[in-house]
Amino acid sequence: MAFSADELRVLRRALANALHPAPLPDEDVRDALRLADSLDEAVREASRMRAFLLADLVRYRESLPGSLTGYLERLEEALTGGYDPGADDLAALRALRANPAAGRLLDRCQALAERSVRSRLARVSQATGSAPAASRARLLALPGGRAAQEPRPKQPAPAPSERPVPKPSEVFPPRRRPVPPPPPEERAAG
């Protein structure tokens, strides 16, 4: 995203005001609001373009191998835009590995996918704590041994449901045997 000289001046005044708060003239407030609206619109447009690119990529992938060059171009463009290749992309590229461009793109996508998986695993391990022993669940004793000898408290009976449970014959009615066709003599006479 690039800013014009006027937008940079507005941004500079807004940052200066953030560092040293002071009342702003109405013109500066209007300029800052216009810049914020322009930024919001640019973000929405970038999101729309990304959604279109990814939908286009899916269309080209679904029509492979006939759309090989178009698919490779779309995938390259998506990767440049920060797209993490999925399992469908990797499978398609593996099938097209005989093509040198597809083979090079497969190597790149595998490296990106591996990096993406590693970063997700790192985020998960940081969120759950760094010590692996701390994240393990406690093991519970299985019935038997001493626990089976101790009296257990009685569990309350479950409340009856409002609807009765259907019988298997109500859910799966018996099959009716097909009626055999009449003998050929009866068909001819009838």
How does pLDDT run along the chain (190 residues), one tens digit per residue?
678 888 888 888 888 888 888 888 889 889 888 988 988 998 999 889 999 998 988 888 888 888 888 889 999 999 988 888 988 999 999 998 889 999 999 999 999 989 988 988 888 888 776 555 545 566 565 565 555 555 555 555 565 557 788 777 777 767 777 778 877 776 665 5
Please state, in angstroms and rounded to a whole number, the distance separating the CA atoms of residues 98 and 124. 37
Question: Do residues 48 and 77 both lie within one domain?
Answer: no
- Does one domain contain both 58 and 96? no
Q: Is 58 helix (H, G, I), strand (E, B) or coil?
A: helix
The SS3 assignment for 70 reads helix
Q: Give residue 64's pLDDT.
A: 82
Same domain, 12 and 50: yes
* Residue at 73 is within a domain: yes
Q: Pick the last residue of a domain from 127, 142, 174.
A: 127
Q: Are residues 57 and 4 in the same domain?
A: yes
- Looking at the fold, whether 28 and 73 belong to one and the same domain comes out as no
Counting every residue written for the chain, the total comes to: 190
pLDDT at 107: 92
Alpha carbons within 13 A on the beta-carbon side of 59: 8
Choose one of 20, 37, 62: the last residue of a domain. Answer: 62
Spatial distance between the Cα atoms of 89 and 71, rounded to a whole number of angstroms? 10
Count of domains in the chain?
2
Give domain status of residue 109, yes or no: yes
Let me know whether 83 and 51 are in one domain. Answer: no
Positive or negative, the CA dihedral 80, 86, 88, 94 is positive
Residue 136, in any domain of the structure:
no
The residue among 11, 46, 62 that closes a domain is: 62
Q: Which pLDDT score is estimated for 165?
A: 80
Whole-model pTM over 0.75: no
Tokens of 58: 């899916």
Q: Give the domain extent around 98.
A: 69-127
Q: Are residues 58 and 14 in the same domain?
A: yes
Query: CA-CA distances (angstroms) from residue 103 to 108, 126, 171?
Result: 9, 35, 54
- C-beta separation of 90 from 106 below 8 A: yes
pLDDT of residue 129: 67
d(CA 81, CA 50): 8
- For position 138, what pLDDT does the model report? 63
Residue 150 in domain: no
* Distance between CA atoms of residues 37 and 61, nearest Å: 36
118 in a structural domain: yes
Q: Are 105 and 111 in contact (CB under 8 A)?
A: no
Euclidean distance between CA atoms 50 and 74, whole angstroms? 11
